[in-house]
Amino acid sequence: MRVSEGGVEVEVPEQADEGIGDEVFFNPVQELNRDLTVAALRAYRDREERAEYYLDAMAASGIRGVRAAADGWNATLADIDPDAVELCERNLERNDLDGEVVQRDANALMHEEVFDVVDIDPFGTPIPFADAAFANTRDLVCVTATDTAPLCGAHFHSGVRKYSAVPRNTDYHAEMGVRVLLSAMARTAARYDAGVTPILTHATSHYVRTYLELDHSASDANAAIDELGHVYHCEDCLYREHDFGLVADPIETCPECGSERTLTAGPLWLGPAHDADFVAAVREELDDSMGTESKVERLLDTLEGELHEPTHYDQHRLCKEWGRAAPAMDEFLGDLRDAGYETSRTHYGGTTFKTPATVEAIREATRDS
Ligand SMILES: C[S@@+](CC[C@H](N)C(=O)[O-])C[C@H]1O[C@@H](n2cnc3c(N)ncnc32)[C@H](O)[C@@H]1O
Ligand SMILES: [Zn+2]
């Protein structure tokens, strides 16, 4: 079937079973991810003008790489599957575009050639590709992870194995996934004396996507490692706190309610997961050839204003815990602000918010909301 996306037209196989099957993979639901990729690549090129060489390391139909090539990137489309490679060639040709197409294991290719921007979009975890990506990429590594259950701690042992971290299933599970992924990426890059700065990160319908800018020195790697630490969480009253450092110092009892049902998660990335200026610049690069333009715009609006606190709250979850009916979000957040606390909504959901206030302080401040 033919698919038009972002001004290009590509041929993709009908997907027998949600992309799981013998055919070359294509997921229409990832259009938002691809629209955002194109806008982020544009904004990135303004920031780093010499960036030119883009690798779509797991290209499948090539739709992402074709869109990058149409946008002026010197694009290489790679896949291990010969059928995918053939399709990539046809899809570049169909759009009258130049680009390299290679049938190659992404790890081998990334070790052999240096690219300015590398895009890792595998089935499930990106971990098997992270070493090669950080060992050699010059400027920017874009990563999609679709294994959200291990990342957020719902599949605990798998998360521990894949990410060499302790993930915990909490009421902020999608953000747990973001911070486990960023932690593993930072630690992987550090092995190659590269420091990562996440300039854009979002958790959207069953995947996490992040854009990691690289600086290549041991001190940059150390600075990234300094952003790691642990979150301590009470399963009873939802109290949480965090501290930086690789050595955990868990709370045995909750300082708020005295419960011993406390969890420790980490090492997590506790630093910013986005750069608000970059997010705003990406929004400027959206255009109406993008099918998900207005959705991406809303996502970026929220992300731009999102505080960098390492965990968010869910108002419904808190109100349920307190036996209160959930009031309107604006009123609730307004009362919190009036009490002197910074607040922001988050992209993790319509009832989610961030604030440096503790659970008890939130409860007090919103008593009359
Ligand atoms: C999720 S799909 C990529 C989707 C595509 N980027 C898009 O936006 O539609 C993953 C692709 O990775 C390819 N792949 C799996 N292992 C690989 C490897 N070691 N090296 C290169 N490609 C690989 C698969 O053949 C598959 O086409
Ligand atoms: Zn507690």
- Does 192 lie in the same domain as 57? yes
- Does 68 lie in the same domain as 38? yes
- Interatomic CA distance for residues 14 and 17, integer angstroms: 9
- Does 158 lie in the same domain as 253? yes
Domain end residue (candidates: 305, 328, 350) = 305
Closest atom of ligand 1 relative to the 64 alpha carbon: 8
Closest by Cα among 315, 302, 299 to 345: 302
Report the CATH number at residue 271. Answer: 3.40.50.150
Closest by Cα among 101, 46, 35 to 68: 35
Place of tokens 């038009």: 4
Residue type, 291: G
- Does 294 lie in the same domain as 328? no
Residue ranges making up the domain that contains 85? 2-305
105 is in an annotated binding site: yes
CB of 225 shorter than 6 A to ligand 1: no
pLDDT in tens, the chain (369 residues): 999 999 999 999 887 655 556 789 999 999 999 999 999 999 999 999 999 999 999 999 999 999 999 999 999 999 999 999 999 999 999 999 999 999 999 999 999 999 999 999 999 999 999 999 999 999 999 999 999 999 999 999 999 999 999 999 999 999 999 999 999 999 999 999 999 999 999 999 899 999 999 999 999 999 999 999 999 999 999 999 999 999 999 999 999 999 999 999 999 999 999 999 999 999 999 999 999 999 999 999 999 999 999 999 999 999 999 999 999 999 999 999 999 999 999 999 999 999 999 999 999 999 988
Domain count, the chain: 2
- Interatomic CA distance for residues 205 and 361, integer angstroms: 31
Characterize the bridge pairing of strands 195-204 and 228-234. unpaired
- Does 352 lie in the same domain as 221? no
What are the pLDDT digits (tens) for 258-297?
999 999 999 999 999 999 999 999 999 999 999 999 999 9
Site to probe by mutation for ligand 1, drawn from 35, 79, 127 as the one with most ligand atoms within 8 Å of Cβ, is: 79
- Interatomic CA distance for residues 126 and 106, integer angstroms: 11
CB of 64 shorter than 6 A to ligand 1: yes
154: three-class secondary structure by DSSP: coil
- Interatomic CA distance for residues 274 and 303, integer angstroms: 8
- Does 189 lie in the same domain as 244? yes
Q: Considering every ligand atom, which ligand is closest to the CA of 118?
A: 1
First to last CA, the chain: 52
- Does 330 lie in the same domain as 281? no
- Interatomic CA distance for residues 273 and 108, integer angstroms: 29
- Interatomic CA distance for residues 224 and 272, integer angstroms: 11
Helices (H) and strands (E) in the chain, counts: 14, 15
3: three-class secondary structure by DSSP: strand
Report the CATH number at residue 345. Answer: 3.30.56.70
In degrees to the nearest 10, what's the CA dihedral of 310, 315, 320, 325? 170
Site to probe by mutation for ligand 1, drawn from 80, 112, 208 as the one with most ligand atoms within 8 Å of Cβ, is: 80
Domain end residue (candidates: 259, 286, 305) = 305
Residue type, 23: E
What are the pLDDT digits (tens) for 309-348?
999 999 999 999 999 999 999 999 999 999 999 999 999 9
Other beta carbons less than 10 A from residue 322's beta carbon:
15
CB of 121 shorter than 6 A to ligand 1: yes
- Does 318 lie in the same domain as 188? no
Cα-atom radius of gyration of the chain, to the nearest Å? 21
Phi, psi (degrees; rounded to nearest 5) at 76: -115, 130
- Does 97 lie in the same domain as 73? yes
Domain end residue (candidates: 287, 305, 323) = 305
This model of the complex carries an ipTM of: 0.98
- Does 324 lie in the same domain as 292? no
Q: In 3-state terms, the chain is what percent helix, strand and coil (to 5)?
A: 40, 20, 40
Report in angstroms the alpha-carbon separations of 346 from 310, 352, 355.
12, 6, 10
For residue 166, what is the DSSP state? B
146: three-class secondary structure by DSSP: coil
- Interatomic CA distance for residues 13 and 15, integer angstroms: 6
119, 57 contact by CB (below 8 A): yes
Could you tell me the sign of the dihedral formed by the alpha carbons of 199, 226, 172, 340, in that order?
negative
- Does 98 lie in the same domain as 133? yes
188, 195 contact by CB (below 8 A): no
- Does 345 lie in the same domain as 239? no
CA of 183 to the centre of ligand 1 (A): 23
Characterize the bridge pairing of strands 117-120 and 140-145. parallel
CA of 231 to the centre of ligand 2 (A): 14
- Interatomic CA distance for residues 68 and 56, integer angstroms: 9
